[in-house]
Amino acid sequence: MIELEHICKRVVEICEETANFISTEIIKISDKAVETKSLNSLVTYVDKTAEKMLVENLGALIPEAGFHTEEETAGHTTENYIWIIDPLDGTTNFIHGIYPHAISIALQYCNETVLGVVYELGQKECFYSWKGGKVYLNKKEVTVSKRTYLKEALLATGFPYYNYSLLEPFLNSLKFFMQNTRGVRRLGSAATDLAYVACGRFDCFYEYSLQAWDVAAGAFLVQQAGGRIADFSLENNYLYGGEIIASNAEIYEEFSSAIKLFFETKGK
């Protein structure tokens, strides 16, 4: 396998270069530059250009790697190494000139995630790790929180923007967590939410109707930082199954049991 620490640090530099481009465009964006993929799913030339920049630079870094990207500027392949990329997680925030929005990059080797980088542009914070390494936030080591009970926890979630099939159990869960935790936040960037779990700002996160590029890097960071990840059935299908829960290790059992209870009848 390639030397992951060196690769990860170079990915951080590539993210910083791409973030500089995105940041210069935020004041230029207009409604005319926005394309509508669906009612609440938007894309701009910034997403597409940023993705092309990432594909070009990451392709030079590992020439034999394939890509799985949101804006499909590079086709998915069956190579051993696969980059999973979201060039701008939180596009709606970006269009409206608010934060957070983030670059999310994960590297898989033979279907195992071995590297993850999330760069949040608002605070210029880069979260990163590689297999066998620690999790860092701007070169400082971080871990998940140490809180032990759900009643002490600050949660994050996201709202579905096209798949409303689980809306009723989701709203029921939201009511429960609002009444039984320290609060619930909705930032609009799943990659940032997961990075915040990894560094202990949030204790738990859950969301459905997500894609692999939304969660691949952030989920890896949570695990590397001592946290736990699952889907709503408490299985391991969080990357392509469209649903994810994340928390520190101490709260996981209580949090995951609540999630499973609310969503156990999904699809029935």
127 within domain boundaries: yes
Residues 39, 116, single domain; the answer is yes
118 and 174 housed in the same domain: no
> Is the backbone peptide bond immediately before 160 cis, with ω within 30 degrees of 0?
no
Q: State the total domains in the chain.
A: 2
CATH number at residue 8: 3.30.540.10
Q: Does 206 lie in the same domain as 131?
A: no
Mean pLDDT (whole number) for 54-60: 96
**How far apart are the C-alpha atoms of 196 and 199, rounded to whole Å?**
5
In the predicted structure, residue 149 carries a pLDDT above the cut 90: yes
Per-residue pLDDT averaged across 174-188, rounded? Answer: 98
User: In this structure, are 87 and 109 located in the same domain?
Assistant: yes
Provide the percentage of residues in the chain whose pLDDT is more than 90: 81
Residues 42 and 125 reside in one and the same domain: yes
**Is residue 128, in this structure, part of any structural domain at all?**
yes
Q: What is the mean pLDDT of residues 246-254?
A: 98
CB 141 within 8 A of CB 151: no
Show the domain range for 165: 150-263
Provide the CATH number for the domain around residue 255.
3.40.190.80
What does the pLDDT look like over 60-91, one tens digit per residue? Answer: 999 999 999 976 666 656 679 999 999 999 99
- Let me know whether 70 and 154 are in one domain: no
Q: State which of 90, 111, 142 marks the end of a domain.
A: 142
Provide mean pLDDT across the span 129-138. 98
Question: Would you state the pLDDT for residue 161?
Answer: 84
Q: Are 262 and 176 in contact (CB under 8 A)?
A: yes
Q: Do 72 and 168 belong together in one domain? A: no
Q: What is the pLDDT of residue 266?
A: 55
Which residue's entry shows tokens 């920049």? 53
Residue 84 maps to a domain: yes
Q: What is the mean pLDDT of the chain?
A: 92
Q: In this structure, are 25 and 109 located in the same domain?
A: yes
Residue 268 placed within a domain: no
Q: How confident is the model at residue 30 (pLDDT cuts 50, 70, 90)?
A: low
**CA separation for the pair 250, 166 (Å, rounded):** 27
- Of 142, 159, 175, the last residue of a domain is 142
- Tell me what pLDDT residue 2 has: 82
The pLDDT score that the predictor gives to residue 72 is 65
Domain boundary among the residues 87, 114, 142 is at 142
> How confident is the model at residue 79, as a pLDDT?
75
32-48: pLDDT as tens digits: 556 555 444 446 788 88
